[in-house]
Structure 1
Amino acid sequence: MSLRDTRILVAIDFGTTFSGFAYVHKGDSKKNPDIVTNDIWPDSVGDYKTPTALLYNKTYTQVKSWGTLALEDESDYDYESDELRPRPVELFKLYISDLEDYQKPWLPSELKYTKAIEDYLTQMQRCIKDTITRRWPDIEFPSQVGLMLTIPAEWPHHTTAIMRNCAYKAGLIKTKDSTNLEFTTEPEAAALYCLGVVGEHGLRPGDTFLVADCGGGTVDITTQLLQDNKLSEITERVGDLCGSTFIDKEFLRWLGRKVGFQALEKLKTYSYGQIQHLVQNFFCPLIKFKFNGKVEDFRQARLNLYKYCDNLPQYITGEHRQKMEMDNWTLKLDFISVKEMFDPVVNRILELIESQLIEANERCSALFLVGGFGESPYLLRRVRETFGSRVPSISVPINSKAAVVRGAIVYGLNIDVVKKRVLKWTYGIQVCRDWVAGDDEDRRTPDGKIFQFRRIVQRRTQVEVNKPFPETCYPVKPNQTSALFKIYYTTKDNAIYCNDPGVKLLGTLRIIMPDTKDGLNRPIEFFLTFARLEIKATAINKRNGKVYNETRFELDI
């Protein structure tokens, strides 16, 4: 069964800080089936998303709670055992990115990030299954359920392989290579959601529009061409780790300067729930969500430590303690300080938008801000101030927080809605040829050969979805009965060798070719097909057109 044959379609937006899902019954009689964005969670009702957080037992082997319950405002001590509760695990999605080790968030040594992802998706799977079977008891889960997973645009190539493996272990698909699962990028899904509102902004076929998906951890931007109610990506997607959680970090740095970083670290260690309470119940609702960058609208916030984090004062020492005692344990958060928390993040988003406009030769009829941080009045104001003279319409669509997950459903219902994508990497294979004078002597093999990178397709190339890119190769030895195609990718436009800096192994295609009667004259046509977001590799015997039956494409993860 393929995605097209399933009865129910579910999309999961697995986010850095918050996650959600949407679903639809495809129905034979409905041309435009109703998409439902889930707002019922085990611990809350009315929210489209729940925190991407897990609370484990002391050995981090069993999930005790997830979502909001993992971050609930309780004492950080377990009164049954009178021991310190384990710290909730958050931001583990960032481990898939290319962050340096020192930049990665805290994760207990006992827990691998892939296990955390698997555990979280397992909890999502249970919630999704309960929801689907409550609505339609006759649905076989997961065999009759198609799944869409969204991923950040900028993240490494192995992201889809990691997420597919975790989805399989979480019980969201029956087999690891299930065709019930498809991927789309977060900005592409957001663009598909915006496709439903382009008419409200006067866009017509041939116009281009830019979508900036601004979430908690990542910001992804894409520029799309509108054609016959379908989309074609016209620029290389861009993105960065500059979501709203980095503003939260700046707030905590500001607090650390006021009370001492040592005191703040002790609060994180012994009363982590109070850190969450401080951010989620003071900073976000009273400051971050309201800040618009206008001095005249700003009301100085007063932070009473005993009200929001009453365990913190006991850790404050020295001059910091003397100052806090004089101020009755109350801090004042002024306009300049708040603006300094926002500006590094907002300025980076403006840089990303600028790069997209330049890449699109300034051809952009509308700009849509979506995602949780896309609702920020300060971000909208800065974007309009910076680009208002170059982009006719800049807006935040209705229900923008659910744009990604609803757009993923739109894609799953009609995968052909995306006509073209722009490649983010250069792809090639490792080939073997005779070593000749002038080649690197150190790379010469004992039998006089040399291995090199042969480019198949270059980054920034606009490709049609499912278009194959062929390359013809020949056996290296007359009696060769098998062949190994190693597929590599790089951000460079080209590479000479497969172990050059920045060149990474994507996967390996193994084929069996037992008929050796034609010796070296056995041309093999190798294809890379950019089938949506997951790449397919095939090999064909050019002499008889046979597709090798024992072909396997093994992703390197």
Structure 2
Amino acid sequence: MSSLRLRQEIKSRRSRNRRIESGFRQDQNGSLPAFQESAEPDIIACIDIGTTFSGYAFALSKDLQEDRLAVHVNKEWISGNSKLITLKVPSSVLLTPEKRFHSFGYEAEWKYGQLAADKNHLGWYYFRKFKMTMMQNENPNIGTSIMDDTGKPLRAVAVFCAAIKYLRNHLVDALASTMKGVEPNWILENFSFQWIFTHPVNWEDQTKQVITMAAKQVGINNATLVPEAEAASFYCQVSPLHRINTRNGEMICLQTLGMKYLMLDLGGGSTDSTILQLTTDTKLIELINSTGNLNGGIKVDAAFINFLMQIVNEEVMEKFASSFKADLSYLHKEFEIKKRTFDPKSSDPIVFKLPTVLRRIFEVNMKQALQLKIEQSEYGYLVKLNGDTLSMDPDVFRGFYAAALENISSSLLKVLYAKEGKDCKTIVMVGGFALSPLVQNTIRTKFPDMTILMPPDPDLAVMKGGVLYGFDNQPVIYMKAKYTYGIGMAMPFKNGVHPDEKKFESNGVSLCSDVFKINITQNQDVQIGEFESRTLLYINRREQRFLCIPVYLSTVREALFTTEGTCQYLGKMKITLMSTRDEKAPISVKMALTFHELVVEVTDEGSGRTIRDVFADSPHIE
């Protein structure tokens, strides 16, 4: 987290408070000196309650004014397994028999497992994946009740309230911990917050009220709700997008006016396909959406559990799941680790440990060694058990994904084939399930003609984007150029202007080499994704069949030559010159900036041939 800026803010406010208190003591009238609060919030925070995992992101408004990517999340959550480190926490709530909050996330899972092991869990209220449970009700609203792990009902608002309160307090505690002697209440009293909450795009207003009411019960009266797809879009607009499937030189710019793109949110519980468009009046609108419940990572989990049921049978699995909650939680974590590390290209077997108690329950009830049962099953040649170590062929593991991937592909086709999907050529993948290489490969294979993109941290895109939405709910269309961009070229030599050492002759003409011809100037206001002023080049040799154009940037506003220390070579553009081209026509060079790339387009106006390539927009760091 940006602890330096935060510490500076805390220190400044503590000093201000001391001055105010001192002035108050010296004021004979006993009146407190007036302090004008800013209308802009000091801190923007987004809470994202997902089906399987939840979390928060936050930023100081002052930081976002300088850098739209200055959004921070909790460093890591302790899962109890050193191999499973997550930036979000399981959506699990544990309440006492008196319906008081006890714990959330990994701590709730651990405590409930201990209670179950001692047979003391029946009076407690444990909710796992409660968001999905609520959505299984018809028309969920503030009066909807959901069932806990043992079938006891509780209003959904109370469960969401517990989750929101925990995440809010965790964030405030983290902020307070950045400076010694600062209490969480002091943070709440001296910093203004804007709270953003994300929700699935297809939620009705009555369902959104569950979050709004739960937030109010925690003391958050200024809650702003934003659809997950829209939040993710705000983050992807400013994030360097990873190209899973693109064509050479293709511009990656979600701010192109009129452009349609499909935001594919691959979450733990569901997959949401939403086509968004940035209209000519810079409004981000939703054209169509489709939600596939239980098509996310949770469907892969279900396939794995079904596989175990086929091996040990349903009765044994039920006894294990109902009586050994801690071991079941361990099994889920083991499988989660394998999901995150599975390489679909590898032929190595997938190996993980089964809980010893599961094997024992099977052998006591079935009077047969589990190893022997596996050998006699349809998986006999593909799955091996050695003690408690289960080893399976990667094809078996890959099969756990089959149904989910088929449903995701069908959902995408449904949206893309709708009339609103016409001319949509780009898919942007976000969500934790998008991290899976197998998922990425499948989408790329199923949709080879689509441009497929993904931000560097897709599992955090929604909650980071929620912060950006809270900062400015209008898409970013313009930006200031970070550097000066141009090409290296030769120009007619001017005595007294150009240095003699750069003079050379070509076809009887005196030229100056290494001239830096500027296309975009540092701090120039540019429309993102739009090509700026062009440079025209002319061919002075009739037999010339190709042209190489070097591309440079300069770290200063003005540079004369590419050999200056402020200039850095980015690469070159090479265009073939047709023998039939109009010899008098120029070669035009145009440049455009996205948030993280420089796009160069070269057109031979004598033949109509155009090439385009993409370069880094910042100096190389050696």
TM bucket (normalised to shorter chain) is: 0.5 to 0.7
Q: Distance in 1 between matches of 2:467 and 2:337?
A: 30
Taking only aligned residues, the RMSD between alpha carbons, in angstroms, comes to 3.6
Which deviations, in whole Å up to 9, do the C-alpha atoms of 1:261-289 show, x marking residues without a partner? 111111111111111111212x2223x22
Question: 1:98–1:156: 8 Å Cα contact kept in structure 2?
Answer: no
What residue in structure 1 maps to residue 340 of structure 2? 289
Q: Distance in 2 between matches of 1:156 and 1:25?
A: 31
Structure 2 residue runs of 5 or longer lacking an equivalent are: 1-35, 141-145, 243-250, 373-384, 478-622
What residue in structure 1 maps to residue 60 of structure 2? 25
Q: Distance in 2 between matches of 1:222 and 1:24?
A: 27
Aligned-residue offset at 1:112: 3.2
1:207-286 correspondence to structure 2 within 5 Å: 207-226=259-278, 230-241=282-293, 242-281=295-334, 283-286=335-338
What residue in structure 2 maps to residue 379 of structure 1? 439
Q: Distance in 2 between matches of 1:72 and 1:408?
A: 30
Q: Distance in 2 between matches of 1:320 and 1:4?
A: 69
What residue in structure 1 maps to residue 43 of structure 2? 8
Correspondence for 2:463 among 394, 405, 408? 405
The reply on whether 1:202 has 2:261 as its aligned counterpart is no
What residue in structure 2 maps to residue 191 of structure 1? 233
Q: Distance in 1 between matches of 2:150 and 2:218?
A: 20
1:113-128 correspondence to structure 2 within 5 Å: 113-128=156-171
1:130-141 correspondence to structure 2 within 5 Å: 130-134=173-177, 139-141=187-189
Q: Distance in 2 between matches of 1:49 and 1:322?
A: 41
Which deviations, in whole Å up to 9, do the C-alpha atoms of 1:486-519 show, x marking residues without a partner? xxxxxxxxxxxxxxxxxxxxxxxxxxxxxxxxxx
3-state SS of paired residue (1:235): strand
3-state SS of paired residue (1:384): helix
Question: 2:236–2:461: 8 Å Cα contact kept in structure 1?
Answer: yes
Aligned-residue offset at 1:351: 1.6
What residue in structure 2 maps to residue 427 of structure 1? none
1:307-318 correspondence to structure 2 within 5 Å: 307-316=353-362
Q: Distance in 2 between matches of 1:151 and 1:314?
A: 43
Residues 131, 301 of structure 1: alpha-carbon distance in 2 compared, 3 angstrom cutoff: closer
Which deviations, in whole Å up to 9, do the C-alpha atoms of 1:438-461 show, x marking residues without a partner? xxxxxxxxxxxxxxxxxxxxxxxx
Which deviations, in whole Å up to 9, do the C-alpha atoms of 1:25-61 show, x marking residues without a partner? 213993546222222558899742111112333x262
Question: 1:23–1:36: 8 Å Cα contact kept in structure 2?
Answer: yes
Aligned-residue offset at 1:257: 1.4
Counterpart AA for 2:276: Q
Aligned-residue offset at 1:364: 2.4
Residues 243, 27 of structure 1: alpha-carbon distance in 2 compared, 3 angstrom cutoff: same
What residue in structure 2 maps to residue 182 of structure 1? 224
The reply on whether 1:417 has 2:475 as its aligned counterpart is yes
1:62-101 correspondence to structure 2 within 5 Å: 62-72=100-110, 76-77=114-115, 83=120, 88-99=126-137
Counterpart AA for 1:341: F
Residues 418, 157 of structure 1: alpha-carbon distance in 2 compared, 3 angstrom cutoff: farther
Aligned-residue offset at 1:131: 2.7
Structure 1 residue runs of 5 or longer lacking an equivalent are: 420-557
Residues 187, 298 of structure 1: alpha-carbon distance in 2 compared, 3 angstrom cutoff: farther
Counterpart AA for 2:261: F
Residues 48, 75 of structure 1: alpha-carbon distance in 2 compared, 3 angstrom cutoff: closer
Residues 29, 339 of structure 1: alpha-carbon distance in 2 compared, 3 angstrom cutoff: closer
Correspondence for 2:370 among 324, 342, 349? 324
Question: 1:247–1:342: 8 Å Cα contact kept in structure 2?
Answer: yes
Correspondence for 2:88 among 49, 52, 55? 49
> Which is further off, 151-160 or 44-53?
44-53
Question: 2:266–2:431: 8 Å Cα contact kept in structure 1?
Answer: yes
Identity of paired residues, percent? 21
Q: Distance in 2 between matches of 1:213 and 1:3?
A: 36
Q: Distance in 1 between matches of 2:189 and 2:204?
A: 30
Q: Distance in 1 between matches of 2:350 and 2:125?
A: 29
Larger Rg: 2
Aligned-residue offset at 1:185: 0.8
Count of residues paired in the alignment: 401
